[in-house]
Amino acid sequence: MKKEYDISGMTCAACAARIERVVRKVEGVQEAHVNLASERLTVEAENKSFPLIVAAVERAGFGAVSHKKNAGETDKNEKKVRSMRRKLILSACFTIPLFYLAMGPMISLPVPPALSPMNHPLLYAAVQMVLALAAMIVGWRFYKVGYASLFRGAPNMDSLIAVGTTASFGYSIYSLIRISQGDHHAVHELYFESVGVIITLILLGKTLESISKGKTSQAIRNLMQLVPKTTFVIRDGNELEVPTSKLLMTDILIVKPGARIAADGVVVRGYSAVDESMLTGESLPIDKKEGDAVYAGAINQNGTLEVRLERIGEDTALGGMIKLVEEAQGSKAPIARLADVVSGYFVPIVMAIAFLSALAWKVGGQSWGFCLSVLVSVLVIACPCALGLATPTAIMVGIGKGAELGILFKNGEAVEQLHRIQTIVLDKTGTLTTGKPILTDFIVESEQSRETLLGLLAAAERASEHPLARAIIEYAEEKNIKIPKAEEFQAEVGRGVSATVDKTAIMAGNQRMMREHQIDLSKLEESLMQLEQAGKTPVFLAVDGKLAAIAAIADTLKEDSTEAVRMLHQRGIEVVMLTGDAKRTAETIAKQAGIDAVYAEVLPADKAEVIRSLQAQGKKVAMVGDGINDAPALATADVGIAIGSGTDIAMDSADVVLMHSDLSSVPAAMELSRQTIRNIKQNLFWAFGYNTLGIPIAAGLLYLFGGPLLNPMLGAAAMSLSSVSVLTNALRLKRFKMK
């Protein structure tokens, strides 16, 4: 069983790594991972383990509560940002005068005579101490969490800040005592301003980080906002306005022009055009009449609709999208594992480096002030925040952007795998083609008019339930053909139908039926051959025992299928078609679309075997399908992609769901995957590179070769900027557009 928890008290990747370690030790836990960006723990475990998990997290020094999926998360994040801003402003109010007081005399800036370091050194030091102490109180959480984690043997980012600033503050107190004893030279060994500036810069970084984190979840908030807060219903014969959260399945929804639909249902009265672009990506409004399905979040454009409810709340199609995006954003991509391993050991190693560096410089003859500067610089520059945020932020933004475009990734692994695909296997019916047979040709061999013969054919087929019959009738209706009434209807299974129309004997069916009734087909033999070569199904029309016409019916390519295949070829992808249809029909469709290889007449049970055979050739394979019989193949492929117009079973088996019913989303999904993984690699490179370069510089490497010594305040600024830069880089993915 899988469950999610909101975690409080995390500050860096080391915290996330610690929570994962303690939770995985709980009996019955199969898997646990923490997303630092969303501050969420996802656990797969036995039922009996869940109470133990909360206790384990709390023992580790963090809070854990069951995650509730609701729009309140927006308010929660906004409250956090407001709180961080207040602390930042308060800390800055103490730090700015502290910094001015400490640095002003060095560059000849005016200071009050009573605070002159030369004339009143003790008061000068005492005022700095008070201002630094005030800043420390504002940042009290760093000390509370940092020392608690340190004493548990699991130091984190707060531990680095707490130890570094405490060391600076402690040494400055020692200098103040020396001043009080008459050693006025100790006024040059005060580091109170470092304490205030470090705390303020860390708070600045955390504030910017919180703002950026809020933006990573914008996609979910946008989806949630598609559902109106209130809606009109007919309840007990009365029209009422009720909160959407209070809808009952017995309600009849009244959707007025311009209003959003609050739940999934079926139109029972009214006619209107409905904009469903948020769900299907269909740019044009869709006409809705009695009996048609409508979905939560869609916009009713003109007429008023009355809708019988079928799904409400989280059970709607939109609710399913939100749930899928939330779960995917909380998942972890395999590429994150390296960062996880490093983060778990990073802070203790940094603390050791900091103390050893300071000790080495002391042994080398440097002053305590110099050694303290090295210690604090290493501690504050080395925070692994950027490392912990590198992967989850990019995954969250990438998956969120995909959701906006109708591309739903179910997990981080799908994002990582999709851009590596070498072979795309496409189902034919409903994926490459419309999945709906239509009449494409009508060849006449009679003196009667085309319209008359079409009317006779439609009349004979009207009582049939066969899909080919439906295609003929729809075509006739579209052309406004008058369809006469047929009598003496008779269906011959596997052959066709016969009927009488105005005392005229009508027969419509396949070649076998015509031959059994001695109908001569020779006059249209050439046309028949051309139709069959084009993969079309012929329906013969005989009137009073003579061949009158051939109707050709085919499942045609979707408008964008050829372009989608071309785009895949441009990416160097091999495109394969897999279908149960006859070989000739399959090859015709494949030729029209420009597909490389065809597997035809494949039974549903054998589709997965074809995928395995391609994988055995060393290829990374993605399967795109929409039907129940595609589910095993979707699950077998390295990445399964379900077309959104398909069945629930196909979607459940897939790793990626395309809400658009066209294939152009496939190359777009691959490009989004590529850009997201590239973004993650950039983030990881920056995070690892920053720490690899920053720590030696902070430890005094440049000073050793005649360069400058890094000031602790610059180290704090660099640390904050590293996290913000990673988040900002991830947010660039929001600019991704489908080509």
Under 8 Å between Cβ of 374 and 353: no
Cα radius of gyration (the chain): 35
Distance CA(532)–CA(530), nearest Å, equals 5
Q: What are phi and psi of 59, to 5 degrees?
A: -65, -30
Q: Is the dihedral of CA 146, 149, 152, 154 positive or negative?
A: negative
| Residue 159 C-beta-side C-alpha neighbours within 13 Å | 24
Residue 498: what residue type? S
Distance from the Cα of residue 25 to its chain's centroid = 30
Distance CA(93)–CA(543), nearest Å, equals 96
Burial of 494 (0-12, 13-18, 19+ CB in 10 A): exposed
Distance CA(354)–CA(715), nearest Å, equals 13
Distance CA(27)–CA(229), nearest Å, equals 43
Catalytic status, residue 544: no
Distance CA(222)–CA(598), nearest Å, equals 41
Conformational region of residue 700, where left means phi above 0, alpha means psi within -120 to 50, and beta covers everything else: left
Under 8 Å between Cβ of 79 and 69: no
Under 8 Å between Cβ of 130 and 191: no
Per-residue DSSP letter, 261:
P
203: its two tokens: 């708070």
Residue of 427, 555, 630, 638 marked catalytic: 427
Burial of 505 (0-12, 13-18, 19+ CB in 10 A): middle
Provide, for the chain, the percentages of residues in helix, strand and coil under a 3-state DSSP scheme, each rounded to the nearest 5.
55, 20, 25
3-state SS, one letter per residue, for 559-570: CCHHHHHHHHHH
Distance CA(196)–CA(216), nearest Å, equals 30
Annotated catalytic sites, by residue?
427
